[in-house]
Chains A and B, each alone.
Chain A
Amino acid sequence: MLTELNPSQITAAEVIVGIPSYNEAEVISYPTQRASEGLVKYFGEKNSVIINCDNNSPDGTRDAFMNTPTEVPKIYLSTPPGVRGKGNNFKNLFKKSCELGAEAVIVLDADLKSITPRWVKNLGEPLFQDFGFVAPLYVRHKYDGTITNNIAYPMTRSIYGRRVRQPIGGDFGFSGELAEIYLRHEDWTPEVAEFGIDIWMTTMAICHDIPICQSFMGRPKIHKPKDPGASLGPMFLQVVGTIFDMMIKRVDFWQEVRWSKPTAIFGFGLGEMEMPPPVEVDIKRLYNKFQDGFDRWGAVWKTILSPNVYKKLSEVRTLNFAKFELPANLWADILNDWAVAYKNRAHEREKILESLIPLYYGRTCSFVVAVEPLNIQQAEEVIEDQCIVFERSKHSLLTRWVE
């Protein structure tokens, strides 16, 4: 059962800004106010509403949201008590969007500190120009978004053939038509119901040949970035699990994709680029977690990896900290072997995903060391080179997949 507060009794809206949340009472007012300003300034001629899709937060998120002064009306939706998950919040948003007949739905992270009203324009306007999905382009610190840089972006690009730089950015836009498509698909897994939702939405948009646009936000994403080695949390398992699940379900689409294609770009030229705040990384901790992984998971890795890949990985293990490198081509082979093992249920799937974590730490360590002397643009070229490696490994992946 859904909880809904709709004090303005909104029954129709052309533009929606949705803010999913769980326990964001302290921060949600900021993006809510900016969203309202953006909707008034850039979509003033359209009916709009701001919707908080919440997991029945006990910290007062609902009141913080509803009490935020805005010119635009607000609706609060909540999953029932005990039902958590960002994906479940999105399901409520999809349903409400269809109910209200929305043409454009813009989603913003509740903890966003760097949003300006212009983000609403840049994520929403392309939806009125024949685009169905808008992904953000923002400057992020080279150490921020390591799951995106080393897994989600190269895999989405190489497998599905579309270059979406921030496939799990958290801030994006989709059309009302795409909301209907999302609702029609019942392939929700528990992972999609949680943090897997972002990559699921991006992948579904690509697989349905929805015109995709990447929109430049102008400012960096400033939220709550974390040292990648400090606390991985359940997000890793849910995102990677969803990537592998989608590969199984969408094989008919991606086996026909050879090389990736770009998207259209929107919203560039917004003035001087502001630099993101620094992110501290404990590289030694990443290295140690990689090494510890061999002790815990080495026997499992041997059953998942192709013999030559395991051999190369064993060589990497012998490298001391000063010389450590887990190169991109090995990393691509590892992820390809993992995807195949997941499909074939070489072990219980949760075990397969968990056992990947130390290898992710190893790759992250290697990546951070490689880009440490580089500026953001140069680090982007390292990521780009890695993507080409992934694309070139596609044939090998497909060969193993259909064996």
Chain B
Amino acid sequence: MKKILIVDDEEVIRMLYGEELEDDGYDVVTTGTGQGLTELIGKEKPNLIILDIKMAEHNGLDLLQDIRKEFYNIPVILCSAYSSYKGDLKSIAADYYVVKSADLTELKQKIKMALEGHAPFESTPE
């Protein structure tokens, strides 16, 4: 079972995303802070990270650079209520950028793509 780590300071988001992704068969771990994030990643060994950008105490784009330094290949999806951060150069270190929505279709599609990274083509992708 693939494990997803959700990093978001909003509890509602952590709960909503966590429940939906668990329903889809993922093992989900959440945290509301970027404090000790790389240690948490080392401990939990997630297959993918969903990372908020605008958090009260941390900037997700800076956390992303820390993640990349230690975990070069781990898939990271930036998930923000704001599309404007796409223009920040630091965001290109993420696998994908998804604008937050109650409809998780796009997020789930990007999770699937990020986890598939290296995989044989079994069927025509969407």
Contacts and interface: CB of A to CB of B under 8 A. Distances in A.
B42 interface: no
Interface stretch (A262-270, A307-315, A358-366): A262-270
A265 B93 contact: yes
A394 B116 CA distance: 13
Contacts of A216: 89
A164 to B, nearest CB: 11
A259 B114 contact: yes
A349 interface: no
Given A259-B114, A264-B69, A395 B90 contact: no
B93 A257 contact: no
A136 to B, nearest CB: 12
Contacts of B119: 256, 258
Contacts of B89: 137, 216, 265, 268
A269 B96 CA distance: 21
Interface string B88-126: 011011110000000000000000011011111100111
A262 B72 CA distance: 9
Contacts of A214: 92
Given A264-B68, A392-B125, A395-B125, A256 B120 contact: yes
B54 interface: no
Contacts of A264: 65, 68-69, 72, 93
Contacts of B92: 163, 165, 214, 262, 265
A272 to B, nearest CB: 13
A137 B92 CA distance: 11
Contacts of A277: none
B117 A259 contact: yes
Contacts of A395: 121, 124-125
A325 B58 CA distance: 44
Given A216-B89, A265-B65, A265-B89, A259 B113 contact: yes
Given A268-B89, A377-B87, A381-B86, A261 B125 contact: no
Nearest to B68: A264
A84 to B, nearest CB: 36
B110 to A, nearest CB: 10
A174 B121 CA distance: 32
Interface of B: 65, 68-69, 72-73, 75, 86-87, 89-90, 92-95, 113-114, 116-121, 124-126
Task: List 6 A-B pairs, minimum CB-CB distance, nearest first.
Answer: A264-B68, A265-B93, A258-B116, A259-B113, A377-B87, A258-B119
Given A258-B118, A265-B92, 9 more contacts: A216-B89, A256-B120, A258-B121, A258-B125, A261-B75, A261-B95, A264-B69, A265-B89, A265-B90
